[in-house]
Amino acid sequence: MKNLILTIMAFLLACCLAFLLFIATNQQALGKVHETISSFSVVDEIAEAKDITKEKSENPINAATEKETHKEPYNAKNYKPIAKLTTHDLKNDEIGKANLPSFSNSLQKAQTLVNKDNNASNAYNDYGIDTTCQGVHYYIFTFENKSKPNTYYRVTVDEYNKASVFDKSYQIKQQNDKPNISPQESEVIAQKYAIDELGENAVLKDVKESKDGMFYTFHEYKTERDYKVVVNKTGDVIRQPALD
């Protein structure tokens, strides 16, 4: 009888010990799981903090970059309106249909050409977009001629991104004290210059209003040559490029 009781008590103690071991084992596993979850949360918090710091640090850089980037197309700061005044008043929808290279590529092409011409760094001034009588658009870019102070290069860039210098020493005329001329006087002046350039057979082919006066195109049919000129409101003559 005594042995039976001892056996039962030993069995119960063994069961209690096994239960305690089970609880201890599971608590350790649960602790590991909790620790793992906590570590993931810490990693996520650190990553999020780094992202916020990076975003804050990049925002000023992006803002500064946007301030320094010109919105194309653009004129130089404090530019002199040369190309701007000697091109036609093209409407925005017409300019939008122009099959021209990008502004930045064309400007770089023109800049390279003038810098090579006088082996100097010639500052960009302004631009214009114009069209030939055949409806072909082209850029006009102007640059300060560093070799000849107070004069400007005028350069065309066509739809094939071909740059050509057509004036190396353009000078801005002072118009403050001159009276405006009539349309008839303007045409007579343009005709005189066209005859000097093309000969007596020069024929007026087209007349348009430009931002600074009247834009005349003359043609000599025997040689198939064009002569283009702007006569501004005070009678000054500004020769224009004659693209093929």
- Residue 215 sits in the same domain as residue 162: no
For residue 85, being part of any structural domain is answered with no
- Domain containing residue 21: 1-69
Cα four-point dihedral sign 120, 126, 130, 136: positive
User: Alpha-carbon distance 165 to 110, whole Å?
Assistant: 8
Q: Among 145, 170, 195, which residue terminates a domain?
A: 170
For residue 37, being part of any structural domain is answered with yes
| pLDDT digits (tens), the chain, 244 positions | 656 676 777 777 776 666 556 555 655 544 554 455 455 454 455 555 555 455 444 444 343 333 434 566 889 999 998 888 877 666 665 665 568 899 999 999 999 999 999 999 999 999 988 877 677 888 999 999 999 999 999 999 999 999 999 889 998 876 555 667 777 778 888 888 888 888 888 899 888 887 678 888 898 888 888 888 888 877 788 877 766 5
Angle, vertex CA 53, rays to CA 51 and CA 57, nearest 5 = 115
Q: Which residues does 113 contact at the CB level (< 8 Å), separation at least 6? A: 155, 163, 164, 165
Return the structure tokens found at 207: 């007349």
For residue 86, being part of any structural domain is answered with no
pTM above threshold 0.75: no
Number of domains in the chain: 3
Q: Which pLDDT value is given to residue 155?
A: 93
Q: Among 143, 170, 197, which residue terminates a domain?
A: 170
For residue 148, being part of any structural domain is answered with yes
Q: Which pLDDT value is given to residue 151?
A: 94
